[in-house]
């Protein structure tokens, strides 16, 4: 089985690539800016994209060019060679208030158009807030890093907005289940189904570290939904958030002490 992983050096893509490679798959990785060759793949795991929502406001054309155009290239390969495409969208597409979210929403529309016109097979994964030991963004990382380095924890808004935090291991597990033929074609929610407010998350980090964090409140840079939680998650036994926070803390402690 031949598999292409775009964005294979990124946070999620690198772990997908590593999992497939270590399990004996014929896997190729490319990233933004790499040359794309017109080859036949059984699966295209299309993770490559600019991903910082706030940056998309500053560089809307770059987000269109890199996210939309690259996705259409992947769809063309899928159309020509019958590749199954696996594409991650976001919980934020429910209220597309920025170029990043709008591009994600429109790419899904293109995927469905290609399915209707050309019969491509697809798996659209709605990712919620994915975190993990190697991530260097997102609330879980930022709060854990703040606790270990005596930094203020920045909260946008009042911290009452609710999010669904899902460990990167569960995202990789979902993609493997698809490739292993355990999940039928369609749209899937990759979340825990558990809603946690940002303030609750902060208190969970405080509890595990035994530190009281100084909170720095800031206004929203962009409008954000009050609640984004998976209603029917494809993973029914996700890594508990408490366990995931511990994973992130331990990874940061090892990094701080110079242990790899």
Instruction: Chunk the chain into consecutive blocks of 10 residues (it has 260) and report each block's average pLDDT, rounded to whole numbers.
Output: 96 97 97 91 95 85 88 97 95 76 91 98 96 95 97 95 97 98 97 97 98 93 84 97 98 83
pLDDT confidence of residue 98: 84
In this chain, the answer to whether the domains covering 1-127 and 129-166+191-260 adopt an identical fold is no
Domain covering 1-127: architecture: 3-Layer(aba) Sandwich (3.40)
Return the pLDDT at 165: 98
What span, in angstroms and rounded, lies between the C-alpha atoms of 221 and 148? 26
**DSSP output for the chain:** -EEEEETTTSHHHHHHHHHHHHTT-EEEEE-TTS-------SEEEE--S---HHHHHH-HHHHIIIIIIHHHHHHHHHHHH-PEEEEEEEGGGGG--SHHHHHHHHHHHHHHHHHHHH---EEEEEE-EEE-TT--SSHHHHHHHHHHHT-PEEEETTS--EE-EEEHHHHHHHHHHHHTT-S-SEEEEES-S--EEHHHHHHHHHHHHT-PPPEEEE--SS---SEE--SSBS-SSPPPHHHHHHHHHHHHHHHHHT--
pLDDT at 96: 75
Q: Give the domain 129-166+191-260 fold.
A: UDP-galactose 4-epimerase; domain 1 (3.90.25)
Work out the angle at residue 210's Cα, subtended by the Cα atoms of residues 260 and 255, and round it to the nearest 5 degrees.
10
Q: Are 231 and 126 in contact (CB under 8 A)?
A: no
Per domain, the residue ranges of the chain are 1-127, 129-166+191-260
pLDDT at 260: 54
pLDDT at 57: 87
CA distance 63 to 56: 6
**pLDDT score for 259:** 63
Please give the backbone phi and psi of residue 101, each rounded to the nearest 5 degrees, phi first: -65, -40
Closest CA to 191 of 228, 166, 225: 166
pTM for the predicted model, two decimal places? 0.93
Q: Would you state the pLDDT for residue 97?
A: 80
Q: What is the pLDDT of residue 222?
A: 72
């Amino acid at each position: 089985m031949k598999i292409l992983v775009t964005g294979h050096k990124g946070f999620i893509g690198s772990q997908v690539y590593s999992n497939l490679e270590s399990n004996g798959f014929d896997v190729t990785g490319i990233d933004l800016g790499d040359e794309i060759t017109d080859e036949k793949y059984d699966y295209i795991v299309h993770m490559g994209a600019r991903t910082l929502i706030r940056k998309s406001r500053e560089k809307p054309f770059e987000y269109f060019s890199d996210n939309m155009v690259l996705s259409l290239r992947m769809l063309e390969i899928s159309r020509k060679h019958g590749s199954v495409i696996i594409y991650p969208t976001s919980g934020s597409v429910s209220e597309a208030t920025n170029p990043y979210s709008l591009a994600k929403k429109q790419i899904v529309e293109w995927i469905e158009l290609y399915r209707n016109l050309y019969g491509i097979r697809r798996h659209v994964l709605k990712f919620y807030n994915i975190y993990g030991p190697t991530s260097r963004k997102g609330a879980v990382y930022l709060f854990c890093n703040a606790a270990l380095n005596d930094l203020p924890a920045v909260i946008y808004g009042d911290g009452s907005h609710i999010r669904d935090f899902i460990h990167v291991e569960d995202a990789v597990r979902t993609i493997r289940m698809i490739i292993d033929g355990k999940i039928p074609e369609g749209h899937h929610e990759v979340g825990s189904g558990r809603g946690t407010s940002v303030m609750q998350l902060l208190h969970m980090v405080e509890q595990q570290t035994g530190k009281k964090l100084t909170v720095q409140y800031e206004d929203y840079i962009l409008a954000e939904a009050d609640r984004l939680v998976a209603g029917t998650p494809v993973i029914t036994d996700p890594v508990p958030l408490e366990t995931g926070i511990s994973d992130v803390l331990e990874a940061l402690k090892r990094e701080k002490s110079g242990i790899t």
